[in-house]
Amino acid sequence: MTALRVAVTGAKGRMGAEVCRAVEAADGLELVAQVDQGDSLDALADAGAQVVVDFTHPGVVMDNLEYAVTHGIHAVVGTSGFSPDRVDTVRGWTDANPGVGVLIAPNFGIGAVLMMQFAAKAARYYESAEIVELHHPNKVDAPSGTARRTAELVAEARAAAGLGAMPDATTDDPDGARGATVDGIPVHAVRLRGLVAHQEVLLGDAGEMLTIRHDSFQRTSFMPGVILGVRRVGSVPGVTLGLEHYLDLD
C-alpha cells in the first residue's frame, strides 16, 4: 500500500510538533513537509503532499487553506478563528475545486466533541446556559474556537426549541464581568498557568443545574482525532465543520 503523503503547517508550534510525531508514528502515513513561519507554502506542492494539517494562527490560516485547496491538497484544520463567514469563503474555494476535502474542527478531542454534542442535546431543557472555557496563558485568542462553536450549537438548539432570552437582571456591568456574548450565550474565558484546554457548559433551571465538563490535560488527547481526519478527509469532498461528522455518534 502506498503511504498517504502528509504535510504540517505550523510544524514547530505546540500542536504542529505533536502532529508531526503522530503522523510519523501512524501506519500508512508519510510526513513529507514541515512548514512554519517564514517558509514558502510551495513546499507543500513541491513535496507532493496529498493532505495538509494546519495548526497555525487565525491570522494566517486562510492564506494556507486557499493555497492548499487551489493546489488540490486536502486540508485538516485545527486552527481557531472560523466564523461562519470564513467557513463560507472556504466553501467557495472547494466549490471551485471539486473533489478537494476540508475538515475544520474546532476541537479534535473526542471527549470535547462529545461535550459539545451533549450540550446541544441538553440545551432545550434548560432556561439558562453559560460556557466557561479555561486554557493555558499562551493562547492568543479568546474566547476559544471550541467555546464559540459550542455557543453556536447551544443557541441553535434553544432557537429550535422556541426558547427565548435567558433570565438576567444585570443592568450595571462596566467591567464586562458577564463575559462575551456569542449568539446570545455568555462565554467566560480563563487563562491560567498549568492548564491546557478545558471547558464547562453550565445549564440551569429551577432548582437544578447540569454541568458538562471536558479536560484535555495533554495535547496527545487531540491526536486520534487528527489522524482520523487525515485518513478520511480525501473521501469527503467539500467543507466539513466539526469532527462529529466523521464519527458514528448515533
Ligand X SMILES: O=C(O)C1=N[C@H](C(=O)O)C[C@H](O)C1
Ligand Y SMILES: NC(=O)C1=CN([C@@H]2O[C@H](COP(=O)(O)OP(=O)(O)OC[C@H]3O[C@@H](n4cnc5c(N)ncnc54)[C@H](OP(=O)(O)O)[C@@H]3O)[C@@H](O)[C@H]2O)C=CC1
Does the footprint of ligand Y cover residue 121 (CB under 6 A)?
no
Q: Of 133, 125, 120, which Cα lies nearest the Cα of 200?
A: 133
* 144's grid cell: 476559544
Can you say whether residue 153 is alpha, beta or left, with left for phi > 0 and alpha for psi between -120 and 50 degrees? alpha
- Nearest residue (CB) to ligand X, 40 versus 181: 181
d(CA 117, CA 150): 8
Tell me whether strands 208-216 and 101-104 are parallel, antiparallel or unpaired: unpaired
> If contact means CB under 5 to 8 A according to the sort of partner, which of ligand Y, ligand X, none does residue 101 touch?
none
**Treating both helix axes as pointing N-terminal to C-terminal, what angle do 223-232 and 110-122 enclose, rounded to 10 degrees?**
90
Contact residue for ligand X among 34, 64, 146, 240 (CB under 6 A): 146
- Nearest residue (CB) to ligand X, 43 versus 142: 142
Least distance (Å) between residue 123 CB and ligand Y: 22
> If contact means CB under 5 to 8 A according to the sort of partner, which of ligand X, ligand Y, none does residue 36 touch?
ligand Y
Binding to ligand Y in span 21-80, by CB under 6 A: 35-37, 55-58, 60, 78-80
Does the footprint of ligand X cover residue 107 (CB under 6 A)?
yes
Does the footprint of ligand Y cover residue 187 (CB under 6 A)?
no
- Annotated catalytic sites, by residue? 135, 139
Strand, coil or helix: what is 176? Answer: coil
Residue 173, exposed/middle/buried by CB under 10 A (0-12, 13-18, 19+)? exposed
* 17's grid cell: 510538533
Does the footprint of ligand X cover residue 144 (CB under 6 A)?
yes
Q: What is the DSSP letter of 247?
A: S
Q: Show the CA angle centred on residue 86, arms to residues 159 and 7, nearest 5°.
A: 125
* 121's grid cell: 442535546
Q: Show the CA angle centred on residue 114, arms to residues 128 and 139, nearest 5°.
A: 80
Least distance (Å) between residue 245 CB and ligand Y: 14
Does the footprint of ligand Y cover residue 10 (CB under 6 A)?
yes
Determine whether the annotation assigns residue 36 to a binding site.
Answer: yes
> If contact means CB under 5 to 8 A according to the sort of partner, which of ligand X, ligand Y, none does residue 121 touch?
none
Determine whether the annotation assigns residue 62 to a binding site.
Answer: no
Determine whether the annotation assigns residue 164 to a binding site.
Answer: no
- Among 35-43, 140-148, 206-214, 225-233, which window interacts with ligand X (CB under 6 A)? 140-148
Residues contributing to the annotated binding site for (S)-2,3,4,5-tetrahydrodipicolinate: 136, 145-146
Interacting residue ranges for ligand Y, rule: CB under 6 A = 9-10, 12-16, 35-37, 55-58, 60, 78-80, 105-108, 145, 222
